[in-house]
């Protein structure tokens, strides 16, 4: 696991660099897309590179991490609509090339199984963008999730619903109770994981993620087992890392030829 501690703007550039390099090397790449606040600056940077530097998403495919159950097709917080707004429409991505679990399916378990098959049929995810919840979830794998889980229905914790109420005019009662989410096993199959976390509110989760024992209580800890995981954090999110000085020193002395 590589841990980079840097200012927020620099983190977004680094994550965008990873996606940019991938798309130029492999125009048919499969991108794993997170919603929430954490990747927004990355999406801004990718949109800028699309507009100003000819970065093309034309042949790429995207798979969303998760989706709320039951939000109507036109609901602004339905993740399908969020992803369309924050990245897909800005880079001219064909809506059909961006997929997400169907939170409106009559048969939700079947929709989850179909989603797993779609990801596999696309050849798996090349770069997976991730945020982390204050309770240590990635995607919506809440504490207690099986470390080998696949796409399935999960119940959101009250902590996550409270955290996400800001997207629902501050009204926690409007935040759905259920979601469909890629499992930890699904996420671990992506070839490169890029996780972003900023702000003091993420410090405890980041501490467990990077330095804690691997445990279903802090589901993100499973990425310690991934052969290519990059954790991008600002000073505030890094404030509880025991080895923060070592991570800073490692990044400062990183050979120029070594990319993320
Ligand atoms: C969203 C997702 C979640 C968020 C996490 C952090 O697709 O998978 O795991 O990444 O809840 O959310 P923010 O970035 O809003 O703090």
* pLDDT single digits (tens) 86-110: 999 999 999 999 999 999 999 999 9
- Average pLDDT of the chain? 97
Mean pLDDT of 134-141: 97
Q: 116: Cβ below 6 Å to ligand 1?
A: no
Q: 32: Cβ below 6 Å to ligand 1?
A: no
Q: 38: Cβ below 6 Å to ligand 1?
A: yes
Mean pLDDT of 73-98: 97
Q: What is the pLDDT of residue 260?
A: 86
Alpha carbon 131 to chain centroid, angstroms: 5
Q: 198: Cβ below 6 Å to ligand 1?
A: no
Q: What is the DSSP letter of 138?
A: B
Q: In what order do the strands lie in the sheet with 98-99?
A: 2-5, 229-233, 192-197, 127-130, 30-33, 61-64, 98-99
Q: What are phi and psi of 231, to 5 degrees?
A: -115, 115
Percent of the chain whose pLDDT exceeds 90: 98
| Ligand 1 probe mutation, 33, 36, 180, 203, most atoms within 8 A of CB | 36
Label residue 186 by pLDDT band (50, 70, 90): very high
Q: Which residues are catalytic?
A: 66, 135, 137, 142
CB 69 within 8 A of CB 151: no
Mean pLDDT of 32-45: 98
| C-alpha 135 to ligand 1 mean position (Å) | 11
Rounded Cα distance, 50 and 33, in Å = 17
| C-alpha 166 to ligand 1 mean position (Å) | 12
pLDDT digits (tens, 9 = 90+) for 189-236: 999 999 999 999 999 999 999 999 999 999 999 999 999 999 999 999
Q: How far is CA 75 from CA 81, 92, 167, in A?
A: 7, 22, 12
| C-alpha 2 to ligand 1 mean position (Å) | 20
Q: What is the pLDDT of residue 259?
A: 83
First to last CA, the chain: 10
| Ligand 1 probe mutation, 133, 204, 237, most atoms within 8 A of CB | 133
Q: What is the pLDDT of residue 257?
A: 83
Query: What number does the ligand 1 atom closest to the CA of 64 have?
Result: 7
Q: How far is CA 191 from CA 160, 162, 185, 187, in A?
A: 27, 32, 12, 9
Q: What is the pLDDT of residue 45?
A: 98
Label residue 84 by pLDDT band (50, 70, 90): very high
Whether the predicted pLDDT of 256 surpasses 90: no
Label residue 69 by pLDDT band (50, 70, 90): very high
Mean pLDDT of 155-168: 97
The whole-model pTM stands at: 0.97
Q: What is the pLDDT of residue 175?
A: 98
| C-alpha 196 to ligand 1 mean position (Å) | 10
């Amino acid at each position: 696991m590589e841990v980079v501690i840097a200012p927020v703007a620099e983190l977004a550039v680094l994550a965008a660099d990873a996606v940019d390099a991938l798309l130029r090397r492999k125009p048919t790449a499969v991108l794993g897309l997170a919603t929430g606040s954490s990747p927004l600056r990355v999406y801004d940077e990718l949109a800028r590179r699309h507009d100003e530097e000819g970065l093309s998403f034309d042949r790429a495919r995207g798979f969303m991490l998760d989706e709320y159950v039951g939000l109507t097709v036109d609901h602004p917080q339905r993740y399908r609509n969020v992803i369309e707004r924050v990245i897909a429409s800005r880079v001219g991505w064909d809506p059909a090339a961006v997929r997400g679990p169907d939170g409106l399916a009559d048969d939700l378990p079947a929709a989850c199984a179909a989603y797993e098959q779609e990801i596999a049929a696309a050849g798996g995810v090349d770069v997976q963008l991730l945020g982390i919840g204050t309770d240590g979830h990635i995607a919506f794998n809440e504490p207690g999730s099986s470390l080998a889980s696949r796409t399935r229905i999960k119940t959101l914790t009250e902590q996550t619903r409270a955290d996400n109420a800001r997207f629902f005019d501050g009204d926690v009662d409007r935040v759905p109770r259920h979601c469909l989410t890629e499992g930890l096993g699904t996420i671990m199959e992506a070839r490169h994981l890029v996780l972003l976390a900023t702000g003091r509110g993420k410090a405890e989760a980041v501490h467990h993620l990077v330095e804690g024992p691997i445990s279903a209580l802090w589901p993100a800890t499973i990425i310690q087992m991934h052969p290519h995981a990059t954790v991008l954090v600002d000073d505030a999110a890094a404030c509880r890392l025991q080895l923060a000085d070592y991570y800073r020193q490692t990044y400062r002395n990183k050979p120029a030829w070594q990319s993320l």
